[in-house]
Amino acid sequence: MAARPGHRVHPGGWKFFASLTARLLEWAEHDFRLSRPKADGPTLRDAYASFKRQSGFPHPKDKGDVECPDEAVYLLNWFWEMSMGRTVTEKGCNPLSPRDITDWCGMRNIKLRQWEITAIIGLEMKFRKVMGEP
């Protein structure tokens, strides 16, 4: 069941979209954490790769390659596109506001469905959670 923006969802499809959103958010939190710059410079992804190069074995905490669900890649791309306009202060990234999302949708002439809004807000929450970790 391919997700297409602006189309109605069959009543049984809500379980599919809830599951898809959960998988997307689980993947995103993992990927955001791997990509987050650490205080000493390299990202966790870089540290795990370095460990593997030096030891020949994966880092014990490395979950391996976890992939974004194919059906949700477009939402991740939309999230990153929306994030390009994100402002940054000395305290970190400012959140995407509902107005930012609405403006982006207007610019792209996209009408988000409820589950897509939930997924994008979830991505924003995971991103800010991970970026705010010490």
Choice between 129 and 2, residue whose per-residue pLDDT is larger = 129
* pLDDT score for 92: 76
Is 93 part of a structural domain of the chain?
Answer: yes
Phi, psi angle pair for 37, to nearest 5° = -65, 135
Rg (CA), the chain: 17
**Residue 100: per-residue pLDDT:** 92
36, 133 in Cβ contact below 8 A? yes
Residue 127 lies in a domain: yes
Total structural domains within the chain: 1
Does residue 4 lie within any of the structural domains? Answer: no
Helix, strand, coil shares of the chain as percentages rounded to 5?
60, 5, 35
Residue that wins the pLDDT comparison between 8 and 28: 28
Lowest mean pLDDT among 3-7, 22-26, 38-42, 47-51: 3-7
Q: What is the pLDDT of residues 63-108, one digit of tens each?
A: 777 788 999 999 999 999 999 988 888 877 889 999 999 999 999 9
Confidence (pLDDT) at 14:
79
Q: What is the mean pLDDT of residues 53-59?
A: 91
Domain that holds residue 110: 17-58+66-131
Rounded-to-integer distance, Cα 8 and Cα 6, Å: 7
Q: Higher pLDDT residue, 11 or 84?
A: 84
7 inside domain: no
